[in-house]
């Protein structure tokens, strides 16, 4: 029963993880504002939150709100430090949290009922986030394990099959469905490349969680890049949506924890090595300049960007939004672990699964990244909690830059997407 509940829950999360736009506007807005403009505090400081409620942009007064303050729980549950009710006076109320003495994140949630409907919002603040250290550890044979995997992959012929997709091509761009042989089974993707003869840099797009079709980056190719977008599940990426929906509700539901008690059979072994195979393919594409490759993605794709750069020295740049699979053991140490937020129940909280997770944790790949990286996330992300993403970021020794958009949850502003695009294009074209 616990397994069924876990699988159902993760299928629901696939929908959440695919959201990239801001959430819709609600009639009533609950505003939770910290007293530090950058939402960041030193250790030992007290955060104070101001809570206001607006309807049609007009502040409400004299209504009761419920509040709760606790360490950032992601979408799970951690101990609540303080909770209660307050009545708004002069359009707001203020709540002080107790001092936070360890690097981490604290969340204040406020809830109100208006005309019988409940509205809620939260704000998460950071305490010395640049000092957060991972809870996971690096296995002694980590490098040997993955070197062996890459050696096995090298023995598998790529056998690339490219199928032109005339219906998607433009006057400037050719689009192909691509099939490659992987360590086990296949890997599929969409290649977009300029029609004009020349030598171009390349961008590998690695996907967020879920099962879906892909369409490729036609606009990117039109601007002078070879672009390759992959799926990770060993199935073609140009099928009808109903196929992916059925797989998500069935055979691939909860894939992220498949075989987590066996490091040689864990689901992500084939996925991580498949990203290396995607780089193999890029190097074979006619028109690639032979030198410049970037990798990018968000959530699971953010994780795979770091993993690929950590595994493959042919990657020159990486850009990652809120990398998942980071510091997955966090909940074992009283703070939110990275998506898929496991080690909270009897299904996953087993010594062998905890040990295997270390071979797949993004933190441990981040230790081996040597190329410049661009990163972005928000403090309010409850899917890839900021303590987990900082755990990976803080161990990076390569050149790095972090673009914080504190308010964002598991979505991005258009400005973030533009910043990433500008950074990648500038690096690859210089």
pLDDT in tens, 37-50: 999 999 999 999 99
CATH number of the domain within which 361 lies: 3.40.50.1820
Same-domain pairing of 119 and 191? no
Separation of alpha carbons 425 and 161, rounded Å? 28
Pair (243, 95) in one structural domain? no
| 198/209 Cα distance (integer angstroms) | 34
Q: Which of 177, 205, 233, 410 is catalytic?
A: 410
> Are 318 and 371 part of one and the same domain?
yes
Where among 131, 161, 178 does a domain terminate? 131
What is the model's pLDDT at position 396? Answer: 98
Q: Is the pLDDT of residue 349 over 90?
A: no
Residue 262 lies in a domain: yes
Residues 333, 411, single domain; the answer is: yes
User: Does residue 153 sit in the same domain as residue 78?
Assistant: no
Same domain, 119 and 185: no
Q: What is the mean pLDDT of residues 348-368?
A: 96
pLDDT greater than 50 at residue 9: no
66 and 173 belong to one structural domain: no
- For residue 17, tell me if it sits in a domain: no
CA 321 to chain centre: 6
In a domain, 8, yes or no: no
Task: List the one residue out of 273, 285, 236, 234 whose CA is nearest residue 255.
Answer: 234
- Give the dihedral of Cα atoms 232, 339, 399, 380; nearest 10 deg: 130
CA dihedral 69, 73, 76, 82 (to 10 degrees): -20
Give pLDDT tens digits for 176-217: 999 999 999 999 999 999 999 999 999 999 999 999 999 999
CB burial readout 143-177, b (16+ within 10 A) else e: eeebeebeeebeeeebebeeeebeebeeeebbbbb
CA nearest to 305, candidates 393, 244, 387, 182: 393
Q: Do residue 269 and residue 318 come from a single domain?
A: yes
Q: Distances in Å between the alpha carbon of 278 and those of 15, 18, 197, 205, 221?
A: 26, 22, 22, 10, 17
Beta strand pairing status for 64-71 and 186-194?
Answer: unpaired
Q: How many domains does the chain have?
A: 2
13 within a domain of the structure (yes/no): no
**Helical H segments across 1-121, by residue range:** 2-17
Together in a domain, 118 and 255:
no
Domain finish residue from 131, 155, 187:
131
Model confidence at 21, pLDDT cuts 50, 70, 90, reads low
Q: Is the pLDDT of residue 341 over 80?
A: yes
pLDDT digits (tens, 9 = 90+) for 386-425: 999 999 999 999 999 999 999 999 999 999 999 999 999 9
Domain-located, residue 171 = yes
* % pLDDT > 90, the chain: 92
Does 118 share its domain with 187?
no
pLDDT digits (tens, 9 = 90+) for 272-310: 999 999 999 999 999 999 999 999 999 999 999 999 999
299 among known catalytic residues: yes
| Boundary-marking domain end, from 87, 113, 131 | 131
Answer yes or no: do 247 and 365 share one domain: yes
For residue 41, the SS3 value is strand
Separation of alpha carbons 106 and 80, rounded Å: 10
Residues 283 and 299: their CA atoms lie apart, in Å, by: 26
From the candidates 52, 227, 299, 305, give the one annotated as an active-site residue. Answer: 299
Catalytic residue among 177, 327, 381, 388: 381
Chain segment 54-82, per-residue pLDDT in tens: 999 999 999 999 999 999 999 999 999 99
Which CATH number covers residue 87? 2.60.40.1930
Given a cut of 70, whether residue 13 has pLDDT beyond it is: no
The verdict on whether 410 is a catalytic residue reads yes
The secondary structure of 111-140, three-state, reads EEEECCEEEEEEEEEEECHHHCCCCCCCCC
H runs (alpha helix) in 232-349: 241-249, 267-284, 300-311
Per-residue pLDDT band for 16 (boundaries 50, 70, 90) equals very low
Same-domain check for residues 110 and 164: no
| Spatial distance between the Cα atoms of 124 and 386, rounded to a whole number of angstroms | 9
Any domain includes 369:
yes
Taking the C-alpha atoms of residue 380 and residue 336, their distance in angstroms, rounded to an integer, is 12
Q: Which domain holds residue 116?
A: 28-131
Mean pLDDT of 343-366: 94
């Amino acid at each position: 029963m616990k397994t069924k509940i876990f699988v159902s829950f993760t299928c629901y999360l696939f929908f959440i993880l695919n959201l990239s736009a801001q959430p819709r506007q609600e009639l009533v807005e609950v505003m939770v504002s910290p007293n530090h403009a950058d939402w960041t505090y030193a250790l030992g400081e007290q955060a104070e939150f101001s809570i206001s409620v607006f309807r049609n942009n007009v502040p409400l007064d004299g209504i009761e709100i419920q509040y709760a303050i606790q360490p950032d729980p992601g979408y799970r549950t951690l101990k609540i430090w303080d909770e209660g009710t307050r009545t708004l006076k002069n359009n707001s109320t203020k709540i002080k949290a107790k001092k936070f003495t360890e690097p981490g994140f604290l969340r204040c949630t406020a809830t109100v009922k208006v005309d019988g409907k409940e509205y809620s919002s939260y704000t998460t603040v950071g305490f010395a986030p640049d000092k957060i250290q991972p809870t996971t550890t690096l296995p002694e044979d980590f490098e040997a394990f993955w070197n062996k995997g890459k050696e096995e992959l090298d023995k598998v012929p790529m056998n690339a099959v490219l199928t032109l997709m005339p219906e998607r091509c433009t006057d400037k761009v050719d689009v192909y469905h691509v099939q490659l042989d992987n360590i086990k089974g296949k890997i599929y993707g969409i290649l977009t490349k300029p029609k004009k003869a020349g030598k171009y840099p390349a961008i590998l797009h690695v996907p967020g969680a879920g099962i879906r079709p892909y369409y490729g980056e036609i606009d990117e190719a039109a601007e002078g890049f070879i672009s390759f977008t992959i799926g990770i599940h060993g199935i073609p990426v140009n099928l009808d949506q109903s196929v992916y929906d059925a797989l998500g509700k069935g055979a691939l539901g909860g894939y992220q924890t498949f075989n987590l008690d066996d490091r040689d059979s864990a689901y992500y072994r084939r996925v991580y090595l498949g990203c290396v195979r995607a780089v193999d393919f890029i190097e074979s594409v006619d028109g690639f300049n032979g030198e410049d490759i970037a990798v990018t993605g968000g959530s699971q794709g953010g994780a795979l960007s770091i993993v690929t750069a950590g595994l493959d020295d042919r990657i020159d740049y990486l850009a990652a939004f809120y990398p998942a699979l980071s510091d997955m053991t966090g909940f074992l140490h009283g703070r939110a672990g990275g998506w898929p937020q496991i080690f909270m129940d009897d299904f996953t909280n087993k010594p062998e699964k905890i040990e295997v997770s270390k071979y797949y944790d993004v933190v441990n790949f981040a230790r081996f990244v040597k190329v410049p990286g661009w990163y972005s996330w928000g403090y309010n992300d409850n899917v890839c909690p900021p303590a987990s993403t900082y755990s990976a970021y803080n161990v990076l020794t390569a050149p790095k830059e972090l673009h914080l958009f504190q308010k964002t949850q598991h979505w991005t502003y258009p400005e973030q997407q533009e910043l990433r695009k500008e950074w990648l294009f500038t690096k690859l074209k210089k």
